[in-house]
Amino acid sequence: MTTVPELPDILSPEFAIDPYGAYRVLRERAPVYWHEGTQSFVLSRYADVARAFRDPVFTTANYDWQLEPVHGRTILQLSGREHAVRRALVAPAFRGSELRERFLPVIERNARTLIDGFRRTGQVELVGEFSTHYPVNVIVDMLGLNQADHARFHRWYTAIIAFLGNLSRDPEVAAAGERTRVEFAEYMLPIIGRRRSELGEDLLSTLCRAEVDGTRMSDEDIKAFCSLLLTAGGETTDKAISAIIANLLAHPEQYAAVRQDRSLITRAFAETLRYTPPVHMIMRQPAEDVAFPGGTIPAGSTVTCLIGAANRDGERYRAPDSFDIFRDDLETATAFSAAADHLAFALGRHFCVGALLAETEVEVGVNQLLDAMPDMRLAHGFRPIEQGVFTRGPAELRLEFSPAQGRPV
């Protein structure tokens, strides 16, 4: 076990600017590292992080303090049958025919509406004008909530993500997260009450109808589920879309290949998830002592799994710090399933239930962006900067393009 003081500090400003060099040092010199600031053991190697996601000895009890104070109790904390039954309530909407037939038109419409707002202007700040709105609008529509309240949803999920990533325990961030729980409950509980008497085809009605082991989900349970879906589906896909565009624009020959052959968008997305995952850290709590090659982690301690470091492990990927959509050591066909060989969606029982929805949103979004601005390029003098330690993505993405080339709506 390593406690050497000169090891990188994952709470330092230098780490926030560029975590990738620190990830390399941790993988090589301190694969199991006690980090004082977060009071957690940090794992950075691919094999160790994959094991922590797959092995049920690593419980998700950390969400009792990391998320329950803002969401209420959600499937992230559950295990066994209770977890499987509740997850099965929403899973069908996020895959297969329900996703394609019921929700694809919702996804396409939401992308088009936002792109129509800037396609004739010749310039756009993609994060602020597109990617922060698009996935949350999709999930709001899927739940049958009111898009006019978008600004509130956005404020709420931003506060919840900040609470989740509040590694330095900033009291203001904690207070904003707790305010969100109160405000979200005041907003959602009356809607859930009304929806129960006017059931429709939306996802909220599905949750209202659902019975778990013969018992209806309580209003509180449903509210917590919606809060999780807005956060998990909003912040992550938001970062993924701006990251795939930033990565392609930084690699013009790969961007040209994707423009020529749109079927490559899926490969580019899988590689984006590996190279610049939207979620860089996920925590776990082992129920028993667990021995790793780099040291033993005692039962009950908190473990920080560095997805961003594991996805760039040279033991797993050739030239791990290169963005290469044609790499042969990342399987695209399984990249959005629990058999994925990158760790951006975690692995095992809690593997992201929205992975295929995210893939569909990115494919539709990138296709429509390429249609509207095929010659998009970074605005003159602009260089994207990544932001965030827990979740991470471009802070801004200023683009220029020829408005005349946007096809008529």
Q: Which residues sit opposite 164 in a β-bridge?
A: none
Q: Which of 46, 47, 19 is nearest to 312 (CA)?
A: 46
| Among the listed residues 292, 345, 390, 401, the single contact to ligand HEM using CB under 6 A | 345
Measured CA angle at 49 (ends 95, 293), to 5 deg: 155
Decide: helix, strand or coil at residue 337: coil
Q: Which is nearer to ligand HEM, 72 or 233 (CB)?
A: 233
Decide: helix, strand or coil at residue 377: strand
Q: Which of 66, 8, 62, 58 is nearest to 33 (CA)?
A: 8
Q: Which is nearer to ligand HEM, 278 or 394 (CB)?
A: 278
Per CB under 6 A, contacts with ligand HEM among 146-205 are none
What residues contact residue 328 under an 8 Å CB cut-off, 6+ apart?
none
Q: Contact 280/308 with Cβ under 8 angstroms? A: yes
* Distance separating alpha carbons of residues 52 and 180, to the nearest angstrom: 31
Q: Which is nearer to ligand HEM, 210 or 353 (CB)?
A: 353
In this chain, which stretch among 119-127, 190-198, 244-252, 340-348 interacts with ligand HEM, using CB under 6 A? Answer: 340-348
Per CB under 6 A, contacts with ligand HEM among 277-296 are 278-279, 282
**CB neighbour burial string for 147-174, b if at least 16 within 10 angstroms, e if fewer:** eeeeeebbebbbbbbbbbbbbeeeeebe
Q: What's the CA dihedral at 309, 315, 319, 321 to 10 degrees?
A: 10
**CB neighbour burial string for 194-210, b if at least 16 within 10 angstroms, e if fewer:** ebeeeeeebbbbbbbeb
- Under the binding rule (CB under 6 A), the answer on residue 233 touching ligand HEM is yes
| Among the listed residues 111, 114, 167, 344, the single contact to ligand HEM using CB under 6 A | 344
Q: Contact 336/273 with Cβ under 8 angstroms? A: no
Q: Which is nearer to ligand HEM, 60 or 254 (CB)?
A: 60
| Among the listed residues 50, 210, 228, 372, the single contact to ligand HEM using CB under 6 A | 228
Containing H/E element for 26?
A: helix 19-29
In this chain, which stretch among 149-157, 186-194, 204-212, 275-283 interacts with ligand HEM, using CB under 6 A? Answer: 275-283
Q: Which is nearer to ligand HEM, 60 or 242 (CB)?
A: 60
Least Cβ distance, residue 248 to ligand HEM (angstroms): 16
| Among the listed residues 240, 268, 330, 364, the single contact to ligand HEM using CB under 6 A | 240
Least Cβ distance, residue 362 to ligand HEM (angstroms): 7
Least Cβ distance, residue 147 to ligand HEM (angstroms): 16
- Under the binding rule (CB under 6 A), the answer on residue 353 touching ligand HEM is yes
**Rounded to the nearest 5°, which phi and psi values hold at 292?**
-115, 160
In this chain, which stretch among 22-30, 43-51, 354-362, 377-385 interacts with ligand HEM, using CB under 6 A? Answer: 354-362
Least Cβ distance, residue 352 to ligand HEM (angstroms): 3
Interacting residues toward ligand HEM by CB under 6 A:
60, 75-76, 87, 139, 228-229, 232-233, 236-237, 240, 278-279, 282, 344-346, 350, 352-354, 357-358
